[in-house]
Structure 1
Amino acid sequence: MSDPFVVVGGDAAGMSAASKARRAAPDRDIVVFERGEWVSYGACGLPYYVKGEIQSLEDLVSVTPEEFREERDIDLRTGHEVVAIDTDERTVTAESESGTVVQPYGHLLIATGAESVVPPVDGVDREGVYTLGSMSDGKELREYVARARDDADLQQPDRGLACRYLEDCTGPVAVVGGGYIGIEMAEALAANDFEVNLFQRGDRVLKGFSDETSEYVAEHLRDEDVVLHLDAEVRALSGDDRVEAVVTADDRIEVEMVLLGTGVRPRTDLAEAAGIELGETGAIAADAYRETNVPDVYAAGDCAEATHVVTGEPAYVPLALTANRHGRAIGRTVTGTPTEGGDIAGTAAVKAFDSEAARTGILDPEEARAAGFDPVTETVTAKSRAGYYPADGTVTVTLTADRDSGRVLGASLVSEYGEGAVHRSHAIVAALEAKATVTDVENYDLAYAPPFNTTWDPVLVAAKVLAGTLRDTDMEP
């Protein structure tokens, strides 16, 4: 058939778009090129696969390639790497073991995702240095953990008892980077009895969260025997063929393995070569409908930027929900129902052992001022359940608003795992979308029952305190 919808990239954005387009246009040709063997998988679950909580790599797959082909009638071509896009001829060129394919398109979606950032230090190519940006990366790390544990079992017959008394069990390892992946992998490795050293070049972990959240999580990591090296920029990964130590300006720590969790960057080479514009964030620029500067060419997922709901400016926040949501919108648009992808708030969450943290919106004062706001911030710690209810905990909420308008700009929340920091952040997300003020939030009719919260939920307490601060400021001469 003519006018095929062609997708480059078979993960969240790409397969969501293809699936939505198939439902809307049962007779249209839909072709998806994926350079790897895996599609539609939950990369965010990889740390828990490495940890051992998820037993099978296949458990992370939402829909198998066979289901896409047979049940959804999508022409999914795994093992095909797109090497060129010709926007004049409206074709893509893909290479595979069986040869080269030139595929025409009517509409094209670029969903090439992101790749792990490898810091420019000596030794990153040594054996024993890993990243966690793909299913194959996860498989390699899980195999490393299994080998290390097997070796330790051979040396220590009663390993469960030995690990409580020996300083070294499976050996010292390093995690470079104190963001989401770094913290999740620190937990995964510590759970497998490794001595974990976490290196962060800045003065705190979770830089995009509030200071209070970062300090809470850092202290919890230390309680779990993770050795934090803050303000410790890695200069080299030393060794012969295999990594043997992490070298900073002030120290040299011997390790048996290094996990690089220093962030990701958008894969844009293919788009750039085709004349598709990048935005100020370095990711592919797209309008509200996810269309690029080239007509009928769209971009979504971790390779593309989006509009921030607070600032109204482009932002790059590569997360799964955004990819799925934008992919679905494109699937509708290319089949005749123009649909906006929606803005983002930069909402994210992370689990660190028995703590949980969430953030949304704009928290950095300089970023807020650059967007034209005058930020005011308050932090409160409030009970997560009624005081008389057994096993009650606390939630610490950092809330930021604009001094003049009272508009909520962002929040960071942290608590013990299960005490609700993450779920409570959803109320703030709704406030950001509605451009609500702290007074609005203070009057939100949130649910109350003793097992779940107090009469005044911690979010309401934070809004009440911040609203009072803003009122007091207004009364100053």
Structure 2
Amino acid sequence: MTDTFVIVGGDAAGMAAASKARREDSDLEIVVFEKGEWVSYGACGLPYYVKGEIQSLEALVSVTPQEFREERDIDLRTGHEVVAIDPDERTVTAESDDGDVVQPYDHLLLATGAESVVPPIGGVDLEGVYTLGSMSDGKELREYVARARSDESFQQPDRGPACRYLEDCTGPVAVVGGGYIGIEMAEALAANDFEVHLFQRGDRVLKGFSEATSEAVAAHLRDQDVTLYLGSEVRELAGSGASDDSEGRSPSSNRTQSDDAGEVGAVVTETERVPVDMVLLGTGVRPRTALAENAGLEIGPTGAIATDAYRETSAPDVYAAGDCAEATHVVTGEPTYAPLALTANRHGRAVGQTVTGTPSEGGGVAGTAAVKAFDVEAARTGIIDPDEARKAGFDPVSETITAKSRAGYYPEGGDVTVTLTADRDSGRVLGASLVSEYGEGAVHRSHAVVGALEAGATVFELENYDLAYAPPFNTTWDPVLVAAKVLGGELR
């Protein structure tokens, strides 16, 4: 009898698993439940869609639902929300407009992803308060920008009502959060002539990067007329009129437009009140684990679903992958939470292989990530924060260098700043943070450090890596090699 592979969630991890399982087993019954209408889309591209660099929302879709159904023979059921899992009976229950469905499974993958974190403050349900965690979120934000610009080439067909401030439609707006989404959306909005105010609770943007990287990005944001409020915790989003009575409520959707909510009018911190027309909440994401918790599955120390190396959960034949699940950090060997696209695709693909008879781990993660801020690019990988390194049992030492991106005599180029961290006792490379002008290679140079992390290499080994050199691309001594030499000298 043919086995049934059921998948909950139709984005990166879920559809990677479904596609790989189909390639490996043409007879396997594959059923995917997705509560929304979109599947297999690039959420990371949403800020660039809002900005206007990507003109069509459909361009972010890798494979359409029709292609999955007709070309890959996958039973994809959009508009179906899974509300319960029974590991003992091996069934999932899904709700749709056509009624409930109880679906048996032999193998089950939870790929429920992550959701935007909404801070517990008043005013988050005011009209004009947005998050960016889904395609519908991106569509709403694009429509907001289009209305403000009154630009026919930019607008979508369902552009909505006119901007309420006809004489000043492009600002001011607020971005709450100085992480990836916050930085990318600050660029997207400023590029469309909005007056952007960015609020960050901590004392620097991009907390997961080095101080040198954070300072370089912050300086560039200011150069682009983004007003930064560092060490500034938002206490409330105030309404523009007397109808602001939203204390303690949470939004039921991306932008609630209830009769009594009113419109957002200001961001309130401990020390000031900043008038704004719109607020984008970019305060991070958290794993969607409710289904797993209700089914009695183990939740790990990071708050995501715990799995073994093969992504199997505490229930037999139930797997979890992507932004809802933990992964293993290549430096510490401990569970970590890394809600990143490549991790989701790798681990989903590995589950697809496993359920079809070839057990596959999918690999660990180093937390490698990159971000573009106007004309600056930054990357990070591994462990950079000294407190985190000490907690993992290391004695961290770091060095920061700035070196040329290309040969000095070449007519183009710029600087690359590298912060490299290693363990004092063993010399093992722990992580790095890099920043440069856009196009000058900070991101691509981080890949050499990733290789060192995966290999457990020392800084002395890294400084002898045979990296490519030609004047248009590099100096003889790549900035990563320079950083390794300097740090190696400190350790010697």
TM-score by length of 2: 0.92
- Native 8 Å contact 2:266 2:273 kept in 1: yes
- Give the equivalent residue in structure 2 for 1:126: 126
Which runs of 5 or more residues in structure 2 are unaligned?
154-166, 244-261
- Give the equivalent residue in structure 2 for 1:358: 379
3-state SS of the aligned residue for 2:150?
helix
- Give the equivalent residue in structure 1 for 2:109: 109
1:463 counterpart = 2:484: yes
- Native 8 Å contact 1:168 1:195 kept in 2: no
More displaced 10-residue stretch of structure 1: 169-178 or 404-413: 169-178
Matches within 5 A, 1:272-311: 272-311=293-332
Rounded to whole Å, the distance in 2 between the matches of 1:152 and 1:256 is 22
What is the number of residues matched between the two proteins?
458
Matches within 5 A, 1:367-386: 367-386=388-407
Q: What amino acid is the match of 2:295?
A: A
1:226 counterpart = 2:226: yes
Rounded to whole Å, the distance in 2 between the matches of 1:286 and 1:80 is 25
Deviations 1:209-232 (A, max 9, x none): 000000000000000000000111
- Native 8 Å contact 1:152 1:170 kept in 2: no
- TM-superposed deviation, 1:2: 4.0
The 1:152–1:173 alpha-carbon spacing in structure 2 relative to 1, beyond 3 Å, is farther
- Native 8 Å contact 2:131 2:281 kept in 1: yes
1:253 counterpart = 2:274: yes
1:145 counterpart = 2:145: yes
Rounded to whole Å, the distance in 2 between the matches of 1:169 and 1:332 is 51
3-state SS of the aligned residue for 1:209?
coil
Matches within 5 A, 1:306-317: 306-317=327-338
Rounded to whole Å, the distance in 1 between the matches of 2:109 and 2:13 is 9
- Give the equivalent residue in structure 2 for 1:162: none
Q: What amino acid is the match of 1:296?
A: D
Q: 1:432 aligns with which of 440, 453, 461?
A: 453
Q: What amino acid is the match of 2:26?
A: P
Matches within 5 A, 1:379-458: 379-458=400-479
Rounded to whole Å, the distance in 1 between the matches of 2:390 and 2:231 is 26
Rounded to whole Å, the distance in 1 between the matches of 2:403 and 2:2 is 61
- Give the equivalent residue in structure 1 for 2:158: none
- TM-superposed deviation, 1:184: 0.0
- TM-superposed deviation, 1:168: 5.9
Rounded to whole Å, the distance in 1 between the matches of 2:480 and 2:104 is 52
- Native 8 Å contact 1:348 1:359 kept in 2: yes
Identity %: 83
1:323 counterpart = 2:344: yes
Rounded to whole Å, the distance in 2 between the matches of 1:152 and 1:40 is 29
Q: What amino acid is the match of 1:237?
A: L
Moved over 6 A (4+): none
More displaced 10-residue stretch of structure 1: 178-187 or 389-398: 389-398
Rounded to whole Å, the distance in 2 between the matches of 1:14 and 1:347 is 22
- Give the equivalent residue in structure 2 for 1:159: none
Matches within 5 A, 1:160-171: 170-171=170-171
Which runs of 5 or more residues in structure 1 are unaligned?
154-166, 472-477
Rounded to whole Å, the distance in 2 between the matches of 1:90 and 1:372 is 41
TM-score by length of 1: 0.95
Deviations 1:221-250 (A, max 9, x none): 000000000111000000130000000000
Q: What amino acid is the match of 1:216?
A: A
Rounded to whole Å, the distance in 1 between the matches of 2:131 and 2:355 is 35
- TM-superposed deviation, 1:152: 12
- TM-superposed deviation, 1:3: 2.2
Rounded to whole Å, the distance in 2 between the matches of 1:396 and 1:425 is 11
- Give the equivalent residue in structure 2 for 1:475: none
1:17 counterpart = 2:17: yes
- Give the equivalent residue in structure 1 for 2:136: 136
3-state SS of the aligned residue for 1:294?
coil
Aligned Cα root-mean-square deviation (Å) = 1.3
- Give the equivalent residue in structure 1 for 2:264: 243
Rounded to whole Å, the distance in 2 between the matches of 1:277 and 1:228 is 40
- Native 8 Å contact 2:326 2:338 kept in 1: yes
- Native 8 Å contact 1:238 1:244 kept in 2: yes
- TM-superposed deviation, 1:148: 1.1
3-state SS of the aligned residue for 1:429?
helix
- Native 8 Å contact 2:405 2:473 kept in 1: yes
- TM-superposed deviation, 1:341: 1.8
- Give the equivalent residue in structure 2 for 1:70: 70
